[in-house]
Amino acid sequence: MIYNGELRNIADVPASSAGWLDGEGIFETIKSVGNRAFSLSRHIARAQRCALALGISIPSFEQISQGVTDLFASVPQGLGMLRISFDNHGNWLAVHMPYAEQEKSCDVRVHPQAVIGDAHKRFPYTSRLEILEQARLAGFDDAIVINAIGNISEGSVTNLIVHIDSRWVTAPTTDVVLPGIIREILIENELVAVESIPADRLSEITSAFLISSLRLSHAISSIDSRPLHLSHAFGEEIKALAHKYSVG
């Protein structure tokens, strides 16, 4: 791993075996294929915006990029997960771990409590991981969360896009949605519209995907056990678009 710009052993740094820094801060999680990180510059730019807003000191783009290059050379992965985290005290950590693709579509439920979202990708990530774990204990693969004003927000640890009114739609950041990188790319390429989706319209959703920089596109096969249409072609289109941004 890279800790404060230097290659270190995990036993020698204040981090968990899963690659999380101790304490609090912000983080980015990125897919890598053949030691090429997807949209690295966008992720670093988002981290820099969050750091500025939260008063956290983080290294320059060049320092982070060099750290990632050194990490990939030291810990190569055919298919990997790169996580870069920055704590509130100016320390930063980058880890590169193996990643297994999500092979099957997922059955999701609507999380039973309203969720307060965050415009920043912060750790500890406990509350969101607990939503995911609760869904799995209830027999589902994941969850969709609803915000305090009754609008569909996102997945437990992902963004969400849904097919409704014959269009692909994602919720605006004002509905406490994290400004995800794949979401950003889809909006820029005019593949999805941005508008609020009231929770009482859940039954009108015909297809849906969980999207993130790690999963890319993960088709949803059912919501609260109601089957959805699996839009395989659109899922592949999302993945192909993500691959166009695999460097830089």
* pLDDT tens digits for range 1-38: 999 999 999 889 999 988 899 999 999 999 999 999 99
Which CATH code for domain 2-98? 3.30.470.10
Helix (H/G/I), strand (E/B), else coil: 154: strand
Which CATH code for domain 106-244? 3.20.10.10
In angstroms, the CA 61 to CA 43 distance is: 10
Q: Which of 3, 1, 23, 19 is nearest to 122 (CA)?
A: 23
pLDDT tens, residue by residue, 134-176: 999 999 999 999 999 999 999 999 999 999 999 999 999 999 8
CB atoms within 10 A of CB 194: 15
The answer to whether the peptide bond before residue 198 is cis (omega within 30 degrees of 0) is: no
Amino acid identity for residue 79 in this structure: L
Q: Report the alpha-carbon angle 128-37-67, nearest 5.
A: 95
- For tokens 């995907």, what's the residue? 209
What's this model's pTM, rounded to 2 decimal places?
0.94
Q: Where are the domains of the chain?
A: 2-98, 106-244
> In this structure, are residues 191 and 241 in contact, taking their beta carbons and an 8 Å threshold?
yes
pLDDT tens, residue by residue, 198-228: 999 999 999 999 999 999 999 999 999 999 9
> In this structure, are residues 2 and 71 in contact, taking their beta carbons and an 8 Å threshold?
yes
